[in-house]
Amino acid sequence: MTDQPTAFERFVQGILPENPVFRQLLGLCPTLAVTNGMKPALTMACSVAFVLLCANIVISLIRNLLKPHLRIVVFTLTIAAFVTIADRFLAAYFFQMSKTLGPYIPLIIVNCLIICRCEVCASKQSVFTAASDAMGQAIGFGLALSSIAAVREILGTGMFFGIRVLPENWPDWVIMVLPPGAFLTLGLLLGLVNWIELIKSRRAS
Amino acid sequence: MNFFKNSNLAQAWLVLLLATVFGTALAGIQVKLSPVIEANKTRETMEKIPDLVLDTSMATQTATQDLIIQSRVIEIEKNGITKFYPVYDVQQKNGSLAGHVAKARGQGYADKIEVLIGLDAGGNTITGLFILDQKETPGLGNKIVEKTWRDQFINKLSDTPLIVVKSKTGQPNEIDGISGATISSRSVTGIVNTTIADIRPRLLPIPKTEETE
């Protein structure tokens, strides 16, 4: 276990150095699909955080019982159970948001970010480390989603969380809330993050 | 002993156990939350009813409390299968019948599609269509929820079945299909056709219910 990162390292790495979207390019389906506004993006981020945390804890608890060739089945089963809980919960208490997100909440089951964390961290490390890894990755995912959603919602509708932030005569860039806007924003932000990393490493050397 | 160790049951006991535990937990959650979800759907249905039976201009003027909405269930037996259609009869305050709203569901491309169909009094023309629940493909099939597509159904006569076409030829019973989502378009149109054919003979007269004053 000595070569495994500690709980704190796991937590910090998830937020920026190993950001699930900008560094690992995982979970891109929700990243592209629900970031046309801040509210759906944050709902998605919270749902993913819940599923990720619960799945990581359960997998870490049973990690010594896992059989190598059956582990993926166990991961999927666990994730699917928590995703269904999240989906039913949203349908019961956030009905309109649940309708807006539609099939993207059930689709968290196939979000490779979660299965990746189960495989890389939770199935090998203690419950506490797995939980802090889940928190770090969830925060990183939330940051990525909200940064993309902020750009798209502000440029596309002139609003932020549904509140007007740009002047009334702002010509809404409709393309930003449409699917191409998702690709454009993700590409540009990815470029920006990589550029910052590049400058950092040049300064270091 | 070795035989037992290699058996499928010994290999998969964890998977089976987890499946049972999660299944039970989900059943519990379903039992607890489904009344809330159903209540949400009923509330949405009630909110949409004025839009579905009245013209848009009238719907904005008429508040929901000015309408008397009565619900009943129409039972249809077809090919040995009994179908249930929840129907809401909408009356103006002065007692004149404004129309009916029927709730129906059918198989879509991905999952069941649940719709509300607005009909005028007696069910001769369609006055509105609303998609209550769907899980169609994002970007293609889920365009059935868009108002521009749904509004095609308004003012269609209900005695001729509607058909989905790729390009309109001017026939009054044509519905423009969504490109890339022919199955979803056909499913919705099919649900509308079947529902109207099933319930239209039974819409009038409205069964008398005891007045609750």
Average pLDDT over residues B133-156: 85
Hey, are the CB atoms on B30 and A88 less than 8 Å from each other?
yes
In which band, very low, low, confident or very high, does the pLDDT at B65 lie, cut at 50, 70 and 90? Answer: low
Mutation target vs B (from A84, A96, A101; most B CBs, 10 A cutoff)? A84
Are A150 and A37 a contacting pair, CB within 8 Å? Answer: no
Q: What is d(CA A20, CA A17) in angstroms, rounded to the nearest whole number? A: 9
- With H, G, I as helix, E, B as strand and everything else as coil, classify residue A169: coil
Q: What is d(CA A140, CA A21) in angstroms, rounded to the nearest whole number? A: 8
Whether chain B has a CB inside 8 Å of the CB on A68: the answer is: no
Smallest Cα distance from A140 to chain B, Å: 25
Nearest to A70 among B15, B22, B37 (CB): B15
Q: Which residues of B fall within a CB distance of 8 Å from A62?
A: 14, 18
Average pLDDT over residues A35-39: 87
Average pLDDT over residues A145-166: 87
Parse chain A into domains and list their residue ranges. Answer: 7-204
Kindly give the pairing relationship between strand A159-160 and strand A163-164. antiparallel
Are B106 and B83 a contacting pair, CB within 8 Å? Answer: no
Smallest Cα distance from B169 to chain A, Å: 31
In this predicted structure, the answer to whether residue A113 has a pLDDT above a threshold of 70 is yes
Helices (H), A17-166: 28-33, 38-61, 71-93, 95-101, 112-117, 127-157
Listed ranges A8-17, B160-169, B180-189; the one with the highest mean pLDDT: B180-189
In this predicted structure, the answer to whether residue A51 has a pLDDT above a threshold of 90 is yes
DSSP string, B148-210: HHHGGGTT-BSSS--EEESS--S-TTEEEPPTT-HHHHHHHHHHHHHHHHHHGGGSSSPPP--
Percent of chain B surpassing pLDDT 90: 24
pLDDT at B25: 94
Mutation target vs B (from A58, A61, A66, A67; most B CBs, 10 A cutoff)? A67
B186 Cβ neighbours under 8 A, 6+ residues apart? B164, B177
pLDDT digits (tens, 9 = 90+) for B4-60: 667 777 778 888 999 999 999 999 999 999 999 989 988 888 888 888 887 655 555
pLDDT at A83: 95
Are A92 and B31 a contacting pair, CB within 8 Å? Answer: no
Whether chain B has a CB inside 8 Å of the CB on A29: the answer is: no
Q: What is d(CA A30, CA B208) in angstroms, rounded to the nearest whole number? A: 51
> Nearest CA to B142 among B100, B191, B181?
B181
Cis peptide before B205 (omega within 30 of 0): yes
Q: At what angle do helices A38-61 and A71-93 cross, to 10 degrees?
A: 140
A and B: number of Cβ contacts within 8 A = 58
In this predicted structure, the answer to whether residue B189 has a pLDDT above a threshold of 60 is yes
- Contacts of residues B18-26 at CB distance under 8 Å and 24 or more positions apart, as own/partner, are B18/A62, B18/A74, B18/A77, B18/A78, B19/A77, B22/A77, B22/A78, B22/A80, B22/A81, B25/A81, B25/A85, B26/A81, B26/A84, B26/A85
pLDDT at B97: 83
Whether chain B has a CB inside 8 Å of the CB on A88: the answer is: yes
Q: Tell me which residues of chain B, numbers 129 to 148, contact chain A at a CB-CB cutoff of 8 Å.
A: 134-135, 138-139, 142
Hey, are the CB atoms on A74 and B15 less than 8 Å from each other?
yes
Average pLDDT over residues B140-152: 87
For A33, the token pair is 């699909």
Return the minimum-mean-pLDDT range out of A102-106, B60-64, B90-94: B60-64
**What is the rounded end-to-end Cα distance, in angstroms, of chain B?**
76
Mutation target vs A (from B6, B37, B144; most A CBs, 10 A cutoff)? B37
When the pLDDT of each residue in chain B is averaged and rounded to a whole number, the result is: 84
In this predicted structure, the answer to whether residue A128 has a pLDDT above a threshold of 50 is yes
Q: Which amino acid is at A24?
A: Q
- The Cβ of residue B32 has, within 10 Å, a number of other Cβ atoms equal to 11
- The Cβ of residue B17 has, within 10 Å, a number of other Cβ atoms equal to 12
Q: What is d(CA A69, CA A195) in angstroms, rounded to the nearest whole number? A: 40
Smallest Cα distance from A121 to chain B, Å: 20
In this predicted structure, the answer to whether residue B96 has a pLDDT above a threshold of 50 is yes
pLDDT at B29: 93
Average pLDDT over residues A52-68: 91
Longest dimension (CA), chain B: 82
Smallest Cα distance from A64 to chain B, Å: 11
Kindly give the pairing relationship between strand B67-78 and strand A163-164. unpaired
Q: Which residues of A fall within a CB distance of 8 Å from B19?
A: 77
pLDDT at B211: 47
Whether chain B has a CB inside 8 Å of the CB on A76: the answer is: no
